[in-house]
Amino acid sequence: MQETAPHRAAPAPHPPIPSSIPRSLFAFALLYGGLAVLAGVLGTKLASLGHWPLLGDLAVESGIFAFLLLVILASAVAELFGQDMANRLVRFGFVPLIVSMVLLSLVIHVVPPAPFWSDQEAFARLLGQGARMQFAGLISYGTSQTLNVYLFSRIAGGQGRLLMLRAWIASMLSQIVDTVLFITISFYGQDLPIGAIMEGQIISKLVLSTIMVPPGVWLFVRLGRWLDAPR
């Protein structure tokens, strides 16, 4: 009598292979994380925007250039992949922000400088933000970026309509909120002309938002569609 081979259980099906992340989303996310860190470093320099008719001499902290690129990237992701994906990008942006703050604090306050290096004081003065300003930066970043994504995604019906107008309005309003939160949290209770500082910063940021954000969002949306086009 011929023996039958023992019954073998069917192999478990392999889990489905997840689809790859779109090229544009991968590239924009990498750039977003780097700019989130760079914004805080650039913010130590006050930049002159020159003399403007009716507005006078304008100055702004240099971190705004990186921060407006964050606004542009988040808006482009909202246009290409929806509001939920853009909000996830903003939330993940807290990771490089917090890690960079912790590392800077450790390098400045814990890691001793080399005996022959004489720039510790200048290094700490330029890059060492206090805990209050760090907290202000986190709050203003999260609130203003979330507001920007929300407004950009909702104005005029959202995706596909009036792209540059939505980008301009959303960035203008979010920059006002960002400035009010950051300066209030950072300097409230100190003997400083908070109102005058806030006014100058808001005007400068609105000028830069008008110049940079609408064409920047248009450019990154076009770039994203080009990156994701079938090859």
Axis crossing angle, helix 63-81 with helix 23-42, rounded to the nearest 10: 160
Residue 17 is predicted with a pLDDT of 46
Residue with tokens 């992949």, as numbered in its chain:
81
pLDDT number for residue 2: 55
Q: What is the reported pLDDT for 48?
A: 86
Count Cβ atoms within 10 A of the Cβ of residue 110 and give its class: 0-12 exposed, 13-18 middle, 19 or more buried: exposed
* Predicted local distance difference test score (pLDDT) of residue 15: 56
Measure the CA–CA gap between 14 and 22, rounded to whole angstroms.
23
pLDDT score at 140: 92
Please check whether residue 170 is in contact with residue 155, taking contact to mean a CB–CB distance below 8 angstroms: yes
Q: Which residues of the chain have pLDDT under 50?
A: 17
Q: What is the amino acid identity at position 203? A: I
Token digits for 65?
A: 């250039």
pTM of the full structure? 0.86
Per-position DSSP letters for 142-186, written without gaps between them? HHHHHHHHHHHHHGGGSTTSSHHHHHHHHHHHHHHHHHHHHHHHH
